[in-house]
Chain A
Amino acid sequence: MTDPAALHEHLFRHEAGRMTAALTRLFGVHNLALAEDVVQDAFARALEVWKFQGPPPNPAAWLMATARNRALDVIRRERTARTFAPELTRLLESEWTASTLVDESFTGDVVLGEQLRMMFSCCDPALREPAQIGLILNILCGFGAAEIAAAFLEERAAVEKRIARGKKVLAQSARLFDLTAADFVDRLGAVHRAVYLLFNEGYHGASTRETVRRELCDEAMRLMVLLREHPATRTPATFALSALMALHASRLPARLNDAGELVSLWDQDRSAWDRTLIEEGRGLLEESARGEDVTTYHLEAAIAAVHAKASGLADTDWRAIVNLYDQLMRVAPSAVVALNRAIAIGQRDGPLAGLAAIEAIADRARLASYPFLPAALGEMERRQGNGVAAKAHFERALALARSDSERRYLLKRISAAEAATAPSG
């Protein structure tokens, strides 16, 4: 990576969040904008210096040191005009203590803790989930509004507005979330949901650019690494969600064909699955079993692990998968889970049993606009040899499709159904 601009972008993604967290600890969350200015400034200085001298051997450490020095400058210059972090402001006013406190803020453990506090603060219940994810991407992952807008197929102005509003909520809080607070467990749940949504945006999301989606998955997994590094957040659910992401991400190389079309789990070239991620996912899943908790993440990860073990549909352990969906229905019943369970039953016991299981979904009405309900019906009819019925279901699904990749996928299913109808020979 000799191109300074590419190095800069890569570093910005990786270091901006760490620097902002360290600086926010000193300046206080009400001065988040000041912290972000100092980060921008450190990067601008880096670009300037490196243009002539080339990047230093450890660019990340150079950046952190630059931010540290800038922080001390700002504190000295503005300590009479500004209040910094409430618990530190009196000590930052004094040369007896200021430089030590600044140094301390840039040490690894403190940076990690502050990144997590920031992540928890971004998941404030006063903010809606898209705002939470936008803030996390912007503050902790170094994504600009334009990049977020591109990833979520939204207007840049709308994203900017949402982030600005979110930062206002953050700035109004006296301090970042305290990891020992009474509502820690609830907030960790919100953090898990937000990071999972971020992952899913990459995995299923709207952007047609594969690199963008891959980046979102990578960022979500990087945030999970942070959660696993801290004793307070290293919970069974954290490990289970990490396992789930690793196991799903292992399929990313096989999810699109050469034409850029979505390939369903059923038709993927499993030799393209990332073995390293599968192994990692298995290890994490094992780790998640320490403790009493069985969360939806545990069950979803276990399902993904069963798929990962099989070389194809035929040797997939559908009995185990149905069993896991049964448990999922007990922990977190939903019409979508019930549908997936019915599909698994269709694999275990044949399409007739699958159709019956779909019939039996109590709140099927909730799936009225969900394209994968008619798609599942179509699949089972096709397997029964009812090409005409199958085609009708797939056409209904097509009308409900929400994205181009879904549409293209369903068009292919329609062709498959037509092929099943056509008299052979």
Chain B
Amino acid sequence: MAEFLYIYRNSARARTAAMGTPEARQKSMERWTAWLRDLEQKGHVRSAGQPLEATGKLVKGGSRAIVDGPFAEAKDVIGGYSIIVADSIAQAADFAKGCPALDDPDGAVEVRPVAAM
């Protein structure tokens, strides 16, 4: 078993649609809960991680200038992360297919093995 980081990516449009009204928000959170609970019950969740706010700060290299997000250059934003355990990257990627982030055709789950350094 190895650890993998899921990085959830959404378009701003999908994010607004999911979180725009309290009802939509509740429904979206229920979807996320169902998905993560299923993974947890199968023993594959190391940490369910956290969702992230859509905006923040970006600290630039070189000048170390601090600028506001959202980040104009990104088509999608990182919506949050989880850490899961799986036998292989193939299995980790396969699990990710059930993620609610993928309801958005522009959404994506980035699956990254935690490196052993």
Contacts and interface: CB of A to CB of B under 8 A. Distances in A.
B40 A96 contact: no
Nearest to B25: A99
B47 interface: yes
A100 B51 CA distance: 14
A96 B30 contact: no
A128 B18 CA distance: 53
Contacts, number: 44
A93 B51 CA distance: 12
B51 A96 contact: yes
Contacts of A211: none
B33 A101 contact: yes
A100 B33 CA distance: 7
A93 B80 CA distance: 14
Given A95-B51, A100-B33, 13 more contacts: A90-B45, A90-B47, A91-B36, A91-B37, A91-B40, A91-B45, A94-B36, A94-B48, A96-B48, A96-B82, A97-B48, A100-B29, A103-B26
A91 B29 CA distance: 12
A95 B50 contact: yes
The contact size tier of chain B is 10 to 19
Interface of B: 26, 29-30, 32-33, 36-37, 40, 45, 47-51, 80, 82
Contact of B33 (A90, A93, A97): A97
Q: Which of A90, A96, A101, A103 has the most CB of B within 10 A?
A: A96
9 contacts: A90-B48, A91-B45, A93-B48, A94-B48, A96-B48, A96-B50, A97-B33, A99-B29, A100-B33
A14 to B, nearest CB: 27
A334 B39 CA distance: 55
Contacts of A99: 29
A79 to B, nearest CB: 11
B36 A97 contact: yes
A97 B29 CA distance: 7
A97 B50 CA distance: 9
A344 to B, nearest CB: 57
Contacts of A100: 26, 29-30, 32-33
B47 A96 contact: no
B5 to A, nearest CB: 14
B37 A97 contact: yes
Interface string A69-102: 0000000000000000000001101111101110
